[in-house]
Amino acid sequence: NAGVTQTPKFQVLKTGQSMTLQCAQDMNHEYMSWYRQDPGMGLRLIHYSVGAGITDQGEVPNGYNVSRSTTEDFPLRLLSAAPSQTSVYFCASSYVPGDSYEQYFGPGTRLTVT
């Protein structure tokens, strides 16, 4: 199993550009989520999904969109990049909640917006 994969690993955008961060998992996990990690702030939840076709907002959803058309994939879209979105982005997956399981994290995407 590849686990949770993310592409790209690094990305530089100009203000106003849009892009999609890709996330895929091959563990048949129902639950997937996106976090951003900023210095001194830990990881903050952006969006999450409890299954295909179901998404919800986390703590910091503004400026980001998600969709979940398959169990495996959970892309994160930046609609119009801003310097405040410079961060490291992590995708994670786990089994269905109800009995909270640990989340498995991808390797991260380091995004810089200039």
Partner 1 sequence: AQKVTQAQTEISVVEKEDVTLDCVYETRDTTYYLFWYKQPPSGELVFLIRRNSFDEQNEISGRYSWNFQKSTSSFNFTITASQVVDSAVYFCALSDPNTGNQFYFGTGTSLTVIP
DSSP string, 2-59: --EEEE-SEEEE-TT--EEEEEEESS--SEEEEEEE-TTS-EEEEEEEEETTEEEE-S
Residue 40 found at the interface with partner 1 (CB under 8 A) = yes
Q: Looking at 10-18, 61-69, 73-81, 90-98, which segment touches partner 1 (CB under 8 A)?
A: 90-98
CB of 45 to partner 1, least distance (A): 6
Q: Closest Cα partner for 58 from 82, 38, 32, 80?
A: 32
42 binds partner 1 (CB under 8 A): yes
Distance CA 60, CA 64 (A): 9
CB of 50 to partner 1, least distance (A): 6
Contact call for residue 10 and partner 1 (CB under 8 A) = no
- Given candidates 11, 27, 58, 71, which one binds partner 1 under the rule CB under 8 A? 58
Q: Which residue has the tokens 């530089």?
A: 12
Question: Counting contacts by CB under 8 A, is residue 1 touching partner 1?
Answer: no
- Taking CB under 8 A as the criterion, the residue among 1, 2, 10, 98 binding partner 1 is 98
Does position 83 bind partner 1 by CB under 8 A?
no
